[in-house]
Amino acid sequence: MDHMQAARDFVENEKQFHLGVIPTEQSNPITRNLSAAIAHDTAAGVKMILDADVNIAGVARAAFDNPAFTQMVKDIVACMETGHTVLFSSVGASGRMALQLDAAWRRYFLHLISILPGRRAEFLRLMEVSNSLTTGGDRALVQSVESFEDYMTFGARQIQEAGVGPDDVVIALAECGLSASINGSAIEADERGCTTYYLFCNPKEILRDTLERCRKVFARPDIIQIPLFVGNMALSGSTRMQVTTVELLAAGAAMEMAAEGYLKKHLSDMELEVVGTIALSGDGYADAFEKLSRDLRGGDALQGLAKAVDIETATYEDKGLVTYLTHDYLLDIMTDTTERQPTFTLPPFRRKGVEGPVSWAYVKDPLYPSDVAWQHLFLRPIKGLEWTKDDYIKMGAAKGIVDNPPMVSGAEVLKYDIGNSVDESRWERRPARLTLIDINGSALGKVKQWYDSRLDNFDAGTVLRIGDIPGGRLAGDEVCIPVCVPRTGMELMTHLMVKLAFNVLSTAAMAKMGRIWGNWMIQVLPTNKKLIDRSVRIIANLADIPYQQAAEEFFRSYLSRDPDQQYRESYVVETLRRLGFDPAQTR
């Protein structure tokens, strides 16, 4: 297929993926001048990114007052009482967050065993109430699975394989409602008799009127809807920013509130006293987020964020690599690091023993070897997709997937070395920087000892300290982002603090390097039809040409390049330069 035919096919036959009318795909006025602002003043650019969170607390506050949210908490408690499942299902950035919610729940009840060992059996049972899946299986945590979110049948199949049914709860984190797979998951869960919640982050009327896959969800009376529209993204279309933040706040609060409801009923007063704060009120969560956002946007926290951005930017501009080191927050940091691949056309994590470009950033657990680190990260068995060629044919997959099924089995996850073994790939390009992540003092003791013992392999080291920072220095080269958040059962506000900080760190560093123009993700990697449309719209907007012509020019770049060169630079930037618009010269 030549580029003209491919463009014509996409324009005429893929209208359900033409998403320019969707608010979260549009430019946010707050960050419109991000690339220019951050080029002159890192702190000003960082603050601009954080300013785009302005609607989150208010939207969450309204959600907490929604009777549907109250019912969701009650339904989670009911699953705790009866041993039924609460399954979080999503895709992309929200899919990785679904895994994070599940792991945080499991880690909390594992922690309670150490406090109240006499209730070990009960807490082990409660750990298993929570479950999670993301489109593409657990391997999608470390690398985006190309095209999977384009198929409602894929999302439906994963729900079938989860084995959920009547009296189970499925919480579909629909991100913006744009991905076909999560809509397929929600409909299949409803078909199977699950109590199904649909959390979505765009105006319902626009989704309903524009997208058939959303219309099918909204037409089902038993699917319970919770709207969480927070406006346009700080980086146009990048739902790893405000969308996943509000979803994490709302869904995480529901989980903590449910845990509190159950434990207050079943524990004694003395046991509750020892357990401590389990959850906040709805207003308490909204207030805590407002304070977190405010604190990060000023004072020492803002200066610390800006310093961290400058250090990381300098490393990448020198063609170097960054390796993050953390034990307790491995999943949080991995989530942000993985999401940089499709957002900025960066090489993905590299499997052990495989040649190819190395990821600019990576994350390692200093305490456990890799296979054990993976167990600690999920706190459940790894979930792969063991689908055959015949399965893909039955699900209506494109010929490219049928002929070359992606490697998404559970065994594939273990091929990524996230443990404490020597990993020479992390200093195969110089300068190599080792960054120790200290969250609320989590890097004290053995974690810091491992950092000290391995630092000689790297050219430089940084200790990045975030949160409630204990007294005394951990290293000479130390960057501090002091913020205090409430400590609750699943540490929800701490996870949100880490998410905001790392979303800013990665986005701001890419903006400093010119990989963002204005607030457009010009380095987007088109791994699915939604991202192809986004690429075309960026070209049309910046080159000031019609959508049809932009599609033709995009596919000319897309089809003419060797796939081995896909990380050289984005197809968008290549196309814009050919059309006479050079983002590097027009910042």
The pLDDT tens digits for 315-347 are: 999 999 999 999 999 999 999 999 999 899 899
When pLDDT is averaged across residues 463-492 and rounded to a whole number, the result is 94
Closest CA to 128 of 82, 94, 97, 185: 82
Do residues 108 and 275 touch, judged by C-beta distance below 8 A?
no
Measure the CA–CA gap between 16 and 18, rounded to whole angstroms.
6
Task: Give mean pLDDT, residues 93-110.
Answer: 96
Q: How confident is the model at residue 477 (pLDDT cuts 50, 70, 90)?
A: confident
Q: In angstroms, rounded to a whole number, what is the distance separating the alpha carbons of residues 362 and 376?
A: 18
Contact partners, residue 507, CB within 8 Å, separation at least 6: 49, 234, 235, 238, 241, 516
128 lies in the same domain as 166: yes
Contacts of 549 (CB under 8 A, 6+ apart): 540
Task: Say yes or no to pLDDT of 494 above 70.
Answer: yes
pLDDT at 364: 97
Q: What percent of the chain has pLDDT over 90?
A: 89
Which tens digits make up the pLDDT trace of 139-160? 999 998 888 999 999 999 999 9
Asked if residue 280 has pLDDT above 70, the reply is: yes
| Residue 347 · residue 356 · CB < 8 Å | yes
Distance CA(462)–CA(308), nearest Å, equals 9
For residues 393 and 422, state if they share a domain.
yes
Helix, strand, coil percent values for the chain (each to nearest 5): 55, 10, 35
Question: Does one domain contain both 264 and 326?
Answer: no
**Does 463 share its domain with 558?**
no
CATH number at residue 272: 3.40.50.10490
pLDDT digits (tens, 9 = 90+) for 19-72: 899 999 999 999 999 999 999 999 999 999 999 999 999 999 999 999 999 999
Q: Distance (Å, rounded) from C-alpha 414 to C-alpha 352?
A: 9
Residues 219 and 109 in one domain: yes
Q: Are residues 195 and 322 in the same domain?
A: no
Domain containing 115: what range? 56-294
Domain boundary among 294, 319, 350: 294
Q: Do residue 414 and residue 526 come from a single domain?
A: no
CATH code of the domain covering residue 501: 3.40.50
Beta bridge partners of 429: none
206 and 143 together in one domain: yes
Residue 473 is predicted with a pLDDT of 85
Distance of CA 54 to the CA centre of its chain: 20
| pLDDT score of 483 more than 90 | yes
Which pLDDT does position 19 carry in this prediction?
85
What DSSP assignment string belongs to 183-200? HHHHHHHHHTT-EEEEEE
Number of domains in the chain: 3
Specify whether 387 is located in the same domain as 505. Answer: yes
In the 8-state DSSP scheme, what is residue 517? B
Question: How many angstroms separate the CA atoms of 40 and 90, rounded?
Answer: 38
Region at 406 (left for phi over 0; alpha for psi -120 to 50; beta for the rest): beta
Are 179 and 239 contained in the same domain?
Answer: yes
Q: What is the pLDDT of residue 587?
A: 55
Residue where a domain stops, chosen among 294, 327, 343: 294
Using DSSP bridges, classify how beta strands 321-325 and 432-439 pair: parallel, antiparallel or unpaired.
parallel
Q: Please identify, among 491, 512, 533, the residue that sits at the C-terminal boundary of a domain.
A: 512
Average pLDDT, rounded, for the chain: 95
Residues 9 and 88 in one domain: no
pLDDT band at 476 (very low <50, low <70, confident <90, very high): confident
Is 302 in the same domain as 189?
Answer: no
pLDDT in tens, 498-525: 999 999 999 999 999 999 999 999 999 8
Q: Which residues have C-beta within 8 Å of that of residue 383, sequence separation ≥ 6?
A: 133, 137, 138, 410
479 close to 463: Cβ distance less than 8 angstroms: yes
Write out the two tokens for 267.
Answer: 């524990």
